Amino acid sequence: MKTILSVPAAMLLTLSAAAPAQAQQAPKPEQLIKWRQSAYQVIAWNTGRVKANVDGSYNKEDAQRAANTIAAVANGGLPGLFATGTESGKGWHDTTAKPSVFSDAAGFGTANANFAKEANELARVAQGGDVAAVKAQLAALQKTCKACHDDFRNSN
Amino acid sequence: MKTILSVPAAMLLTLSAAAPAQAQQAPKPEQLIKWRQSAYQVIAWNTGRVKANVDGSYNKEDAQRAANTIAAVANGGLPGLFATGTESGKGWHDTTAKPSVFSDAAGFGTANANFAKEANELARVAQGGDVAAVKAQLAALQKTCKACHDDFRNSN
């Protein structure tokens, strides 16, 4: 996170939220791209956790936590991180967003909504602890991942 | 995400979760560090959203979504990303974890639990839509951010 102030980096998180309202500025494109790349990494982390649970020794609490995190991020407003001005550029790495994310914002929103719908269902199923049901719903979720990647993400 | 297979990067998310169980391996240190750095970025993104809401025009749904995301990540098992072997190294950038994260894992766990407790309360308060209450609880949450940073994160 960049700031024009000279402060310890350890305080930046606190500072960014504690700054007076009038000092707040819209996040820079680089920051938005970092946040969206981070959000999808968190999804990958937790999708992998659910997969490890259904394929290995099933820990209900771990699977629930992972599914809840996926659902929260899926419902958390991901399309808002693809603002005008972030069509290209670098966050942690060059963006892999296709131009279609921006030219077909409605379609991208629908793809995200499909993902959120299946993520919510995964979180619901994970509450029950039926491993086969969790596995099946994970597969349903992953179809929405792939569909969105096909339409809206460049290979890199 | 690295893989030994030659496949389009757009498929990696799907692939990593769809690979046969016997092919699954523990994530590499670099991956764990990327995931934890990503998770804290997602927290920063959403803490900033709550702050923008309480300081500006309050959008209850947006604040709720942001608070829910913070709570899900806070409860999602962050200490598990500080596994042995990740004391140093680079994810998106060099880790800023202090040695104390690993030498005082119990203390780090308590700091994370304190954070999760206040994040849960923020998510609860955000359901009600009392802006002053959300603002006060955000401040309570941020105290736990700072406390953890003081003890467990290097400035950079």
What amino acid is encoded at B140 in this protein? A
Least confident range of A62-76, B21-35, B91-105, B137-151: B21-35
What's the pLDDT score for residue A26?
Answer: 86
Tell me how far apart the 2 most distant CA atoms of chain B are, in Å: 53
Decide if A72 and B77 are in contact by the 8 Å CB cutoff: no
User: How many of the other CB atoms lie within 10 Å of CB of B139?
Assistant: 15
Instruction: Report DSSP state, residue A75.
Output: T
pTM of the model: 0.85
Closest-CA residue to A66 (of A6, A126, A155, A154): A126
Instruction: Report DSSP state, residue A21.
Output: G
CA distances from residue B138 to B2, B56, B60, B127 in whole angstroms, order as listed: 37, 14, 14, 14
In chain A, positions 41-60, which contact chain B (CB-CB < 8 Å)? 41-52, 55-56
Is A19's pLDDT higher than 60? no
Helix axes B131-152, B29-55, angle to 10 degrees: 150
- Mean pLDDT (whole number) for B106-130: 97
Compute the distance between CA of residue A80 and CA of residue B65 in angstroms, rounded to an integer: 12
Best residue in B41, B46, B86, B142 for a mutation probing chain A (most A CBs within 10 Å): B41
Decide if B13 and A145 are in contact by the 8 Å CB cutoff: yes
Question: Can you count the helices (H) and strands (E) in chain A?
Answer: 6, 0
Is A7's pLDDT higher than 90? no
- Mean pLDDT (whole number) for A39-65: 97
Best residue in B22, B69, B115, B138 for a mutation probing chain A (most A CBs within 10 Å): B69
Q: Could you read off the pLDDT of B6-56 as tens digits, one per residue? A: 333 333 333 333 344 444 578 999 999 999 999 999 999 999 999 999 999
What's the pLDDT score for residue A155?
Answer: 84
Is A1's pLDDT higher than 50? no
